[in-house]
Chain A
């Protein structure tokens, strides 16, 4: 057996000069033990081939999927909004309710003439932004449809806390018609609905340059805003210094109003955020105590296993018993 395999390996080396192909053939046809496959040359060839295949497929995969394909130009992508240090986005901080109140004022006095906020009822404002008296008074300023009466007629009644904030337009078509064909989106969930959330909307509201930069193409009825994907937005700049009079006498600068309204819109999108964070804090504290406890219990139970000493005491020739 040994002699045969020696013989064969020498032959293999000899025939290697005639090309590797032959060896592979022989290996495939040979039915005897794998001694031929153990020859260093064959192993080297196999290793080189496998490495080539592996490296090649990685290169091919990277070629196919590696580089990111940019379907859009940077202008179509929109300028990425810088990150602002929003306090209400910290893990253990609530919304600043004074800011929510200001933001609601900005929404009501500025944005509400074009944008609806149809998922927010008056009752949600009670105890977060308004007192119940204020909310009731506000609701009563608007009229809502009643249930059909005995004759099937629908009448009007003053609003109550259970009603939702009224929309500026009766339907989307009317909204488009009044805004040059562009639909002002509902703002209830806008903070969740846009990449960049608060940062994006803040940048959008404050990012209108006085004049579009040279060479920028601005479509008919559009305004230049670098943060808006495509840079041409149908909404003109709406926030100007001193536009609203804050009841708490905060100076109404453009960025102050933008910040307040963005925080308010964040609240509108996630009114449960404060409670969620508070619950999250409780859960984190309890689970970390539990975890520490379980680590301690494990160590306690395992202490004797870990600290025992196993000694092998070999039988001495004298005292063995067979």
Chain B
């Protein structure tokens, strides 16, 4: 059951300190990536049409020159 999963997790990651530390760092990194992009998506949805990226296409002439 869950104990199998948790014990293999324990053996793989948490048993040795350096793997534990690595797991924490990697976890923080991936969480940050996921969280940042998700929240940005919500933000953009909430502000649709108000931000520069939403109206930029109306004014930019040569798409390659911008940025």
Interface residues of A (CB under 8 A from B): 92-98, 101, 127-134, 274, 278, 281-282, 285-286
0/1 interface trace, chain B 44-62, chain A, CB 8 Å (1 if under) = 0011011110111001111
Tell which of A94, A98, A128, A133 touches B47, judged by Cβ atoms closer than 8 Å.
A94
Q: Are B56 and A131 closer than 8 Å at their CB atoms? A: yes
A281–B56 Cα distance when bound, in Å, is 25
A128 to B46, CA, bound (A): 18
For B47, the chain A residues whose CB sits under 8 A away are 92-94
A93 to B62, CA, bound (A): 30
Whether the Cβ atoms of A97 and B39 lie closer than 8 Å is no
Give the distance in Å from the alpha carbon of A95 to the alpha carbon of B51 in the complex: 7
Q: How far is the CA of A278 from the CA of B40 in the complex (A)?
A: 8
> Which has the most chain B C-beta neighbours within 10 Å: A127, A131, A133, A286?
A131
> Which of chain B's residues have a CB closer than 8 A to the CB of A95?
50
CA distance A131 to B62 in the complex (A): 10
Q: Tell me whether chain A's interface is mostly helix, strand or loop, or mixed.
A: helix
B50, B54, B66 interface centre (most CB from chain A within 10 Å):
B50
Q: What is the minimal beta-carbon distance from A235 to any residue of chain B, in angstroms?
A: 30
Q: How far is the CB of B11 from chain A (nearest CB, A)?
A: 25
Contact B46 A286 (CB under 8 A): no
Question: Is A97 a contact partner of B61 (Cβ separation < 8 A)?
Answer: no
Which residue of B39, B42, B49, B61 contacts A131 across the interface (Cβ within 8 Å)?
A: B61
Query: For residue A286, which residue of chain B has the nearest CB?
Result: B35
Q: Residue of B at shortest CB range from A128?
A: B52
The minimal Cβ–Cβ distance linking B40 to chain A, given in whole angstroms, is: 7
Q: Report chain A residues within 8 Å CB of B39.
A: 278, 281-282, 285
CA gap between A131 and B61 in the complex, in Å? 9
Q: With A92-B46, A93-B50, A278-B43 in contact, is A98–B62 under 8 Å at CB?
A: no
Query: Are A131 and B66 interface neighbours, CB within 8 A?
Result: yes
Chain B min CB distance to A168 (Å): 26
**Alpha-carbon distance between A129 and B61 when the two chains are bound, in angstroms:** 15
Cβ 8 A contact of B51, one of A97, A101, A132, A286: A97
Q: What 3 pairs across the A-B complex have the smallest Cβ distances? A: A97-B52, A94-B47, A96-B50
Bound-state CA distance A93–B46 (Å) is 7
Residues on B with beta carbons closer than 8 Å to the beta carbon of A133 = 60-62, 65-66
A94-B60 contact in complex given A133-B65, A278-B43, A282-B39, C-beta closer than 8 Å:
no
In B7-62, which residues have CB < 8 Å from any A CB?
A: 35-36, 39-40, 42-43, 46-47, 49-52, 54-56, 59-62
Looking at the assembled complex, report how far the CB atom of B47 sits from the nearest CB atom of chain A, in whole angstroms. Answer: 5
Report Cα–Cα, A157/B59, bound state, in Å.
27
Say how far A26's CB is from chain B's closest CB, in angstroms.
77
Nearest to B60 among chain A residues (CB) is A131
Give the shortest distance, in Å, between B44 (CB) and chain A (any CB). 9
Residues of B within 8 A of A130 (CB): 59
Please judge, given known A-B contacts A131-B66, A133-B65, whether A282 and B51 are in contact too, CB under 8 Å: no
Docked CA distance A92–B60 (Å): 27
User: In the complex the two chains form, what is the Cα distance from A280 to B49 in whole Å?
Assistant: 21
